Structure 1
């Protein structure tokens, strides 16, 4: 609202209290994000919720834009290991985690696909390219959620921050294009970015930079344009900027025609209402009728000031019109025209996000490979299985002080079924998981935590490692193991599949669980050369002791190396050939903090069962129970009132003493 006024000495004055001078921010050139970063308004965090379909079972997943984290809540095996991919900026991470690599040409062979995915990794592993990788990361940091902005444009809901984000995104995309043109064009991704980030991006950036007044837009909290875009808008802004001095002269003339009792006046401009004459309320003006002044039309009373329309203010309305609204309407029209220009090139913006997503993911994998000392796996279409030399669990090695690497080899005809036994907490489950993770990481194009790794044509990885229970399924733990995991492996695994089974059968009766485990393994062994590559970890030592599996080259027995040092058990966490002779559950129970008496009693009962001897009650426990019963009986006698005429000693002896005596004697 613009205003001028006059002092009691009947001279014009500046804007009074509660009044704001009309002004329009002077336009300023838009800074280039490639030269210096500018403060930008933070986008509000958004949560994207979706239905997760995993291996035939429904769950949910949600993506938090505030920290670029994706969370899974599935009714299927948890994919905790995929959180390694949170390194980097992770634009459109859903594409990677869904496992749908639609950008890989269908014409590629299996070997070519793996090489395509992993081709960028060696580029970032050399220290000489570290600066370039960091620059690419910085540029990727400015590439935001373009599809959301385009959607708002289509609905005409564009915000000032959207134009700022889009401007930085486009300029950063141009920076990526220039950087990738200086990199080896033998890498497909670099070549795609260099070619497909077309001049349309430069056209969009140029349009936004020449049209949008970012400083003015932030100050006004709406879209404003730079000077010299529309002469009519420039003229109206010039008039709006010059209003204060012009209205000062108008107020002086109005004051000359007012009652001498009126000490001062102001001429103000209110958008959508127009120009008004504002005078202070006199003490004599009490009733509404007192507000009437000859030659003036009373409008309203606000903050002890009366507002009127005069002949001059009406003339100003006709001459100048509603400048503020006119400027806003014309700038909205220009914004709509600019939106149409951007939407016409929406395809290239979507392509920017697609290629930037790939580059971000692959750079994240490359960064992890460099930081954690991963090595490049070799892919062999001839190899049926995997060969891993000194492999490590990618997560466990970050948590443990020391980690013992282990090798794994499954290929050819021999040793397709590996039965792993060992004490509790000896590392069997970790070994199975690291074999699966190394294979998976290699197949998605990542370097792997191993000295060497050769990956064959693995067509699927089936696991029975973790039981994901859910009340929504209405199934028992053992039924989930069978229905969701083991049954799928039995029905779908091929000679190129990797099957990992950990402690299957423990969810039911020992005999039944052992029988099912043996039956499943024998089913695969009966396939002969077409048997999948199977790793089975179990504590069912009877599986081997009772010779439930046939002898032959397909079966290989492995164990986790340990050493007994007196009453202590030392774990070496090293896989070696052989069979464990005990589960050492008592040692695990002692480590868990169970009382020594309980651990000793458990070991005693276990030894008696193994030797076929009867299990007798513990004498000390029996004596303690007898003493408790004696004390209870004594207390009952002491509570007797022998002088009570209603006391019946026969009933007391038969109901209280005799039953207690049987537990004492």
Structure 2
């Protein structure tokens, strides 16, 4: 039987309150973990698993040094675990028994604020979801910045928002976790995110309203535009409850809640965000190689986070886009101003996250110095913007608060190069506090005071052998040999007799002893108290710091896009409310940077959105069809960010949504084949696209049999043209679809130019008008190294297949040319050989030379009558 010691009893009581977290239990200079926590931590962290006690009473145990705890916590959080920090709440020297301990903070993936646990240029979101059926309430917060938003969405958009926000942790009501396991598991598996269940009452909309109003100190939420929010309000309440429980500190840096508006943003579903590789590549999930990886030359972390938001949520309203554009244009045209602004920005730290750490009481002196150094740069930045004329730049200059009082306070109080800890002294400038200066003087100059005291006493007493000494038992003392005992002043107090001498003290010496011996510790304590006061003073400026940080982020993002345009020969697109999409010499923004402007082959696009709405693009693998259609989508997206784009000229009629259906992937965990995923994504487009949407399709129908695939692709293209009227680019190997252009005037054929020399082919990467009837798949297979024997056999099979699908004129049988020439009303044609074609083919193959004359005549007459019937 294990005997529970008082300390382990304390541990067990605290652990029972935090069962879902690893308990970091402070013992001296270490955080210790016990039982299952120790086993799990030793496995994840690779630290030694030891034991407390031996034999049957042995308790598994592992520990990490408290000064290095952040490093270990980072690894645990990345592994999707929670950590409860249990600190000593009193000085062990003052404890009469067990040291008081308590949990001071719970760190979870969605609530970290430490720099070492966060990505500089990415937000770290905690999300709460209230599931009310078809309508879901979403709320998300980045605790490190105070950004707090809410949104009611339909269920189908949930994973689109997950892709956009990429939350680290999701809060769900216990009822949902208990009774809707499929919903919970779908989130866990598809989004690879930690799920935390919370009491149902925390999601109550009524309770949430009161909780939020109390937090913001308001009587209503009308001022935040959240008065009419539905279930999202309940999710927001759950977020605040969770933060109060885990942070155990002030949340006053959360100064507002915003209603996320989708009517002024371009919507993109999860498949589109992934296939366009907006923030990370499909292959390995790296930022390098994504659109953001190319665009992000921001000089501050705040600017980097904002630019990411612009990439994944472009603007939809033309006036808003132009507002941004004009600011970028001014910085683009003024190279000196742009360079000077970017130089200043390069010396500004993450004011947004520093202000949060200050407000939460977690900032050290170095954070304050970083803030001061950042504020030092703001007057110069404000001065540079003062002469700008673009509305957005004028507004940013006005919003830029230099916070002079904060800079002066920190500069006056904190030393330029403080230590990382705040309890060991060395933080406060000399001259800031007279009492602290006196303590420091005592601590540093004790020996000189003793020497002066000794000299004064020798003069006063006339005893030249008098000396002042010190030991740990009696402290400071005056020692006088027995030879001079008759000259000892009456004010001396005998303390000790030793051989041939007496030791004495005086009230003055004792008073100074008390001051000197405790001066160092008292100075450290006073510095700590002063630092807390200074930090508290700075925290009162949190709202102003956040507004300034927001302005700096926008200035950074605008100057970055202007700099990209200048360095890479980008042009400012014309933004209109029409449906026209015209880009001359457009270049893929990522490949353009990789290959260089001189190496990348530019291409055009022109859809007026009224007469011409659909491009059917054919051509071989490796020729560049997918690159071209993605390029168009990325250029439109960049234009609606307000950015200039890599092109010679562009007119962009704004889009409300961008859809893509690209690539082949399965979702076996959901029991869905490649073709089912393809059809799900296509159905989403057909059900949600509007006339203002941009649709990018790549090889729709390839996941099934050829005839099935062609049939589906044909019907989808007709539907997009006739019903939705959206601007559509359809890249396909089904060159049979080129016949759609014969039936519908708004569908145009284009192909990627290829040149053939015998068996060799050269991809020219240039898109030209007209269809193609070759896919060159066998050529590509040969280039890939497929054995020659297989290539030869494939050519033979291809020739047979093509012969079987051509009509008497050598044309595909999918859309008879006659119908197009007669300009009949467009209609869905049969995709397979008609009875008429079969009769003509039978006549063509009839070998009369081997038949009796009468038999041949009868057979021809029979076929001729059948043909006349079908033609009539």
Q: TM-score, normalised by structure 1?
A: 0.69
Contact 2:691–2:726 (8 Å) recurs in 1:
yes
Going from structure 1 to structure 2, the CA distance change for 1:361 and 1:216 (only over 3 Å counts) comes to closer
Counterpart-to-counterpart distance in 1, 2:162 and 2:437: 61
Deviations 1:305-344 (A, max 9, x none): xxxx995785544455621222223333332332232112
Aligned position for 2:531: 335
Going from structure 1 to structure 2, the CA distance change for 1:394 and 1:215 (only over 3 Å counts) comes to closer
Counterpart-to-counterpart distance in 1, 2:767 and 2:164: 36
Aligned position for 2:854: none
Going from structure 1 to structure 2, the CA distance change for 1:175 and 1:467 (only over 3 Å counts) comes to farther
SS at match of 1:495: coil
Aligned position for 1:555: 747
Counterpart-to-counterpart distance in 1, 2:733 and 2:355: 57
Q: Find 1:448's aligned residue among 629, 645, 652.
A: 645
Going from structure 1 to structure 2, the CA distance change for 1:102 and 1:377 (only over 3 Å counts) comes to closer
Aligned position for 2:715: 519
Contact 1:464–1:504 (8 Å) recurs in 2:
yes
How far 1:602 sits from its partner (Å)? 1.5
Aligned position for 1:543: 737
Aligned position for 2:439: 236
Going from structure 1 to structure 2, the CA distance change for 1:57 and 1:515 (only over 3 Å counts) comes to farther
SS at match of 2:695: strand
Q: TM-score, normalised by structure 2?
A: 0.53
Deviations 1:366-403 (A, max 9, x none): 1111111111101122x213111111111222334622
Aligned position for 1:154: 359
Aligned position for 2:322: 115
> Aligned ranges for residues 496-507 of structure 1 at < 5 Å?
496-507=692-703
Aligned position for 2:600: 403
How far 1:555 sits from its partner (Å)? 1.2
Matched, 1:144 2:349: yes
The farther-off stretch of 211-220 and 336-345 is 211-220
Q: Find 2:766's aligned residue among 574, 583, 599.
A: 574
Counterpart-to-counterpart distance in 1, 2:603 and 2:356: 51
Contact 1:560–1:574 (8 Å) recurs in 2:
yes
RMSD of aligned residue pairs (Cα, Å): 3.8
Counterpart-to-counterpart distance in 2, 1:51 and 1:334: 34
Going from structure 1 to structure 2, the CA distance change for 1:168 and 1:596 (only over 3 Å counts) comes to same
> Aligned ranges for residues 411-426 of structure 1 at < 5 Å?
411-426=608-623
How far 1:168 sits from its partner (Å)? 1.0
Aligned position for 1:82: 292
Deviations 1:206-229 (A, max 9, x none): 111122222465799645322332
Counterpart-to-counterpart distance in 2, 1:340 and 1:408: 58
> Aligned ranges for residues 479-498 of structure 1 at < 5 Å?
479-483=676-680, 485-498=681-694
Aligned position for 1:594: 786
The one of the two structures with greater contact order (alpha-carbon pairs below 8 A, sep at least 6) is: 1
Going from structure 1 to structure 2, the CA distance change for 1:543 and 1:157 (only over 3 Å counts) comes to closer
How far 1:605 sits from its partner (Å)? 1.9
Aligned position for 1:461: 658
Aligned position for 2:799: 607
Counterpart-to-counterpart distance in 1, 2:766 and 2:781: 22
SS at match of 1:322: helix
Contact 2:396–2:555 (8 Å) recurs in 1:
no
Aligned position for 1:390: 585
Counterpart-to-counterpart distance in 2, 1:496 and 1:83: 28
Deviations 1:398-446 (A, max 9, x none): 3346222111011142221111111222211111011111111111111
Aligned position for 1:95: 306
Unmatched tracts of structure 1, length 5 or more: 1-41, 64-71, 255-263, 278-293, 298-308, 614-665
Unmatched tracts of structure 2, length 5 or more: 1-113, 128-157, 169-190, 193-269, 279-289, 458-466, 478-493, 498-502, 806-872
How far 1:266 sits from its partner (Å)? 6.7
Contact 1:143–1:353 (8 Å) recurs in 2:
no
SS at match of 1:407: strand
Deviations 1:140-186 (A, max 9, x none): 123222343333333433312112111112112232112212x31x2
Going from structure 1 to structure 2, the CA distance change for 1:157 and 1:121 (only over 3 Å counts) comes to closer
Counterpart-to-counterpart distance in 2, 1:171 and 1:452: 41
Aligned position for 1:643: none
Going from structure 1 to structure 2, the CA distance change for 1:219 and 1:358 (only over 3 Å counts) comes to closer
SS at match of 1:526: helix
Counterpart-to-counterpart distance in 1, 2:312 and 2:632: 23
Matched, 1:206 2:408: yes
Deviations 1:613-661 (A, max 9, x none): 9xxxxxxxxxxxxxxxxxxxxxxxxxxxxxxxxxxxxxxxxxxxxxxxx
Aligned position for 1:191: 394
Aligned position for 2:373: 168
Counterpart-to-counterpart distance in 2, 1:60 and 1:117: 23
SS at match of 2:764: strand
Contact 2:778–2:791 (8 Å) recurs in 1:
yes
SS at match of 2:697: strand
Q: Find 1:377's aligned residue among 573, 586, 589.
A: 573
Counterpart-to-counterpart distance in 2, 1:337 and 1:602: 81
SS at match of 2:743: coil
Deviations 1:468-523 (A, max 9, x none): 6555544222222222x312211111111111101111122222222221121121
Contact 1:274–1:321 (8 Å) recurs in 2:
no
Contact 2:292–2:311 (8 Å) recurs in 1:
no
